[in-house]
Amino acid sequence: MSDIEIAPRRSSGGTPTVAVPRIDSVEISLSRVPLPEGPWGDQIHRVTDIEVTVVDIRGDNGLVGTGFSHTSGMGAATIGALAHEIAPTVVGRRASPRGLWHDMYRYVHDIGGAGVTTHAISAFDIAVWDLLGKSLGVNVVDLIGRVRDVVPLYGSGINLDKSVEEVVEQVRRWRADGYVAAKVKVGKPDLEEDVERLAKIREAIGSFPLAVDANQGWDYPAAVRAFSRFEQFNLLWIEEPLPADDIPSHRRLATQTRTPIAVGENLYTAAQFAQYFEADAVGFVQADLGRVGGITGYLDIAAVARTRNLPMTPHFVMELSASILAAVPNISSAEMTDGGTWTDLGIIASAGRVEHGRYHPPTAPGLGLELNRAYLDAHRIDNQISRHEGQDS
């Protein structure tokens, strides 16, 4: 796709108004951030840190847009290497997100259309949106098209290793703080232990909406047993019961239960999500903005989901995800990971605010987010920032 020249409009006095900037330079940095409360664990993972790929894009107007992607303790070096391949292709281009997104996707598709490639595109795309919003003096939510000012949140716990008493207190706290629902981990070696834990949680919280997350830990027979045993708890959803790439088994499972299935954190493209939608194999859509190609990729997925009347409930990075939900018509709620928001982890220094279980997105131009640069620098993986510039920079 060739660049479309956007000439600045002129006021009645002949003074040019704001123009969409060209990209002068790109900086890429990688950090490995420890989890302050210790490792996170579920059925199949043990995570000790979060790796963050940060992309800073400087426009020819001197403003800088910042984007990022994330992985659970591995892979940032690979994503960073691919980001270095992408960077020269965007320098000199207009900061127009959709055109750049499609050109980046076409550029990397030959080495894989999903996964590492969409992680890398995410960091660039988020940065481009941030730069464009700052350049136009508009918050990204309003740039996309604001639907709401406040976004409901649900409390999410990485709590499979906690006692049931601790989980009950956690969920009670979320309810008291105004969150609209709670999600807890399941996947004990003995299914009956999960059942006993959920029975105690349900007894303690009454009809408060409750979801569970299995983190792809079951095979099909185990999932059938779990769904059957969990029916009594009237769950909001059961998340990732099976490996995410097994769409036929998710479809079979969906036909045998009244409990909706939630998937998305391990899917990466609108095409992958569309396959789930066409199979009627999902009830809640949990795309991750840092994995699906950023804001542009996420909006594409949300648009397809809307044609199926499916709600978006994004995975992770509440500070960004909840903001973007303010511009998405079809939503359920955003995830507040207890002790695992990027503010909690020290990655983000300034964001919107949480009040009574609702997120109030920032209103400053661009994303309105500020990274904690000193903290990220202190946990730099490669101890350097790589810079790509145009010939005239």
Q: Please confirm, yes or no, whether 134 is among the known catalytic residues.
A: no
Partners of residue 312 on adjacent β-strands: 285, 331
Length of the chain: 393
CB 218 within 8 A of CB 227: no
Cβ neighbours of residue 392 closer than 8 Å, sequence gap 6 or more: none
185 is catalytic: yes
CA atoms within 13 A on the CB side of 390: 16
Residue 65 contacts residue 130 (beta carbons within 8 Å): yes
User: Which is catalytic among the residues 70, 134, 183, 315?
Assistant: 315
User: Which member of 70, 183, 185, 250 is catalytic?
Assistant: 185
The 8-class DSSP code of residue 188 comes to: -
- Strand pairing report for 238-239 and 46-47: unpaired
261 DSSP β-pair partners: 238
Alpha-carbon distances, residue 281 vs 43, 269, 309, 310 (angstroms): 22, 16, 13, 11
In one-letter notation, the amino acid at residue 276 is: Y
Among the listed residues 322, 358, 369, the one whose alpha carbon sits nearest the alpha carbon of residue 52? 369
Catalytic residues: 185, 315
